Amino acid sequence: MSKTTQRIVVLIFALALIIPAGLVGIGQFTQNDQGGRQVADSAQDTRAKVDPATQPKPTNTTEPSRADFPGIDDETEAGAKAATTYLFAVYAYMIGTGDTSAWRELMDPSCEECMRFADNAEQLHAAGGWIVGGEITLSDEKVTLTKGNGASDGASTTAKVDATFHEAAAKLIDDPTREPATRGASQGKFSVGLRFVDGHWRVTSMAVG
């Protein structure tokens, strides 16, 4: 995976907007010394060299506990909302540590882009990179619940959570010997689809707008 792609995939809401050329429609990282210019490929990287020991450290290194999200396994609107809130707590932990186990556990196999994101996050950390900041909080959540008939016909209960996301400013250390790529705070609309399976909510889709 190229350096540019590594910088892009850390943005959860940009996933659906990635194209083969490595561009995204929102949330591009920029070089500190060149304003709004997108970070260059590694062969053109003009960022200043730094002592790796001076790089900022990850801020979210404690794995979230499901116990801290009451109702997360309830087949209700409140349960779907709790699962979505937990999703973004796991996101912050994943981008800070590279541990994708809790993220993968949340995902329905049908959400292929979600699994690819985890793969890319692991590759970034395997290459010695990490992210500082970038936490996501939610507001104005609206849950649409469609109850399934359970054992009678095998249909699962599904939910769609629409909300406004607020993403904190972030620094991406993709090369510890170079100054971090940076991204300012952002916000926008998003939706997440969920399915209730075997007593737990699973994420089936994520989309911006």
The full set of domain ranges for the chain reads 55-208
Sheet with 170-173, strands from edge to edge, namely 130-133, 170-173, 181-183
Measure the CA–CA gap between 174 and 45, rounded to whole angstroms: 11
SS3 105: helix
What integer best gives the mean pLDDT of the chain?
78
Residue 121 has a pLDDT of 81
Least confident of 57-61, 62-66, 119-123, 150-154: 150-154
Question: What b/e string do you get for 87-100 counting C-beta neighbours within 10 Å, with b at 16 or more?
Answer: bbbbbbbbbbbbbb
Residue 55 has a pLDDT of 94
Beta strands (DSSP E) in the chain are 130-133, 136-146, 158-167, 170-173, 181-183, 186-197, 200-208
- Residue in 2, 1, 95 with CA at minimum distance from that of residue 40: 2
CATH topology for 55-208 is Nuclear Transport Factor 2; Chain: A, (3.10.450)
Q: Which residue has the higher pLDDT, 124 or 19?
A: 124
Contact assessment for residue 45 and residue 3, using Cβ atoms and an 8 Å cutoff: yes
pLDDT confidence of 154, banded at 50, 70, 90? Answer: low
pTM metric for this prediction:
0.78
In the predicted model, is pLDDT for residue 153 greater than 60?
no
- Joined tokens for residue 161: 């959570």
In the predicted model, is pLDDT for residue 86 greater than 90?
yes
Instruction: Give the helix ranges, DSSP H, for the chain.
Output: 3-9, 77-97, 101-106, 112-126
- Joined tokens for residue 147: 């109850």
Mean pLDDT of 83-101: 91
Mean pLDDT of 30-36: 37
In the predicted model, is pLDDT for residue 12 greater than 50?
no
- Joined tokens for residue 9: 């995939």
Phi-psi region of 27 (alpha: psi -120 to 50; beta: other; left: phi over 0): left
Residue 132 has a pLDDT of 87
In the predicted model, is pLDDT for residue 47 greater than 70?
yes
Residue 183 has a pLDDT of 81
